[in-house]
Every structure is written in C-alpha cells, then in structure tokens.
Homo-oligomer: A and B are copies of this chain.
C-alpha cells in the first residue's frame, strides 16, 4: 500500500475588526478576550476612523469626506497616524499582552510589510490614501512562526518615506492573499452585525452562505446594502486569489462553537 503524505499548510486566522467595536471600551475588551483565546496562528487588523475624526475636531481640523470615504490631507494624515498607529494600535497591543497574547503592533511601513502607492487623482483627490501594491509575507511569517501575533492598523507606505491611509478591509484581504502561499488562511470580517442580513431591519435575518450565484441573485433583488458591496467584493477577490475561507459576523463568530454568521464561498 502506498502511503500518500498530504502536506498541509498551517492554518492562519486573519480577523478584521471595525471601528465601532474598537472604539467602545466594553466591546473592545470582549473582542480582545475572544481573540486572545483563539488557538493557532492569527493576525488582527483594525480600523478606527471615528476616533480620528473626533481628534481632528478637537484640533480644529475639518474632516473631509467624499461618498463616505475620508479625504486625507497632510494635516489629516498626521492625525490618522497618531490615532491608528499610536493610540488605538498600542492600546490593543497592551490589552492583548494582558491576556497572554504576545502581540506586536504594525503599520505597513514596519518591516516593509505593505507597500502601496498614492491613489491617482481622478474625479476627486483623496490625498494621502494608499492603494496596495504588494504584501511582503517574509517578515510577517517570521513573527507568526515565532508565536508573535501581528496587529495591523490601517496604514501603508510607498517605500519613499510617505505613509498612506489605507482601507482596513482591503489591508485584511491583501494580507490574506499575500500569506495564502504559506498558510491556509481564514479571513474573518468582524463587525457590529451578526452577518450579511436579508432584511436590514431584522438583526437575526442572517444569510448563512453566499456564493457567486446567490450573490448575483441578492444583487438583482437589491437585498444587499451599499455598505456591504465593497466588503463582499473584497471577499470574492480573496477567495479567487487562494484564501481558504471568508466569513462575516459579529464578535461571537470568533468562538470555536460559533454558528450564526455568514460564510462566503466561490
């Protein structure tokens, strides 16, 4: 009898957590507790735009937004760097350390992990906003394999000294793709709702499974809201590029016996 040796890649959970969870002290504590308890290799990616807007206000700066997306002026970038890479990232790292998770806070400039370029000026100039060019898996794998857990904030750099504000959902999916050569990656989008809902008015109307076919049907029936579209777009991109599994749900999704969330498949 021939013995076929199946060479399986080690698992890696990448959890992206939204600003509404990060910026609520109680919710953040629950999240960090659950995340710290997750077994195996893991990465946390966080946003935090609301807090940045609040600090901008205190500094007398005006937050400019175009179609729900921040326009990042030079002054705005300084605030974003302070809030994302400083206040939020280090509060999360210190919180995880207290729960015996050996976390390390990173932006894309750290270890040259995520290279991006400034988004070209089109209909509107988004300022210092980065579109990702490349994830460098080597330094990230080095940390993970030594049981150090990366915590990424939503910043990248262009390799020429410029930091760039970058969408946290996209950072999570690009990390998932970039690391899927080395790991079997599960990408978990964690936000305040239980999953993708078939009725926005009903918190429990979770669509358990979405594949490309049902996605197109949901689009035609206009069941999926505008806010969810770019998220789902990111999910399918990640799956097509070799990510093993993508899920959307609330903090409960991080528990081992979780059932109520949305799984995206091709």
Contacts and interface: CB of A to CB of B under 8 A. Distances in A.
Interface of A: 55, 58-60, 78, 81-87, 89-91, 93-95, 97-98, 102-107, 109-112, 139, 142, 146, 148, 155, 157, 159-163
25 contacts: A55-B59, A58-B59, A81-B87, A82-B83, A82-B87, A84-B86, A85-B85, A85-B89, A85-B90, A86-B86, A86-B87, A86-B89, A90-B110, A93-B110, A94-B109, A94-B163, A95-B161, A97-B109, A97-B157, A102-B139, A104-B106, A104-B111, A104-B139, A139-B146, A142-B148
Contacts of A110: 90, 93, 103-105
A144 to B, nearest CB: 12
Contact of A139 (B107, B139, B148): B148
A interface: dominant SS: helix
Q: Which of A58, A86, A103, A142 has the most CB of B within 10 A?
A: A86
A160 B155 CA distance: 27
A93 B78 contact: no
Contacts of A106: 104
A142 to B, nearest CB: 6
A94 B161 contact: yes
A117 to B, nearest CB: 14
Contacts of A160: 98
Q: Which of A94, A148, A159 has the most CB of B within 10 A?
A: A94
A155 B91 CA distance: 12
Contacts of A139: 102, 104, 146, 148
Nearest to A151: B110
Contacts of A81: 86-87, 90-91
A94 B157 contact: yes
A85 B87 CA distance: 8
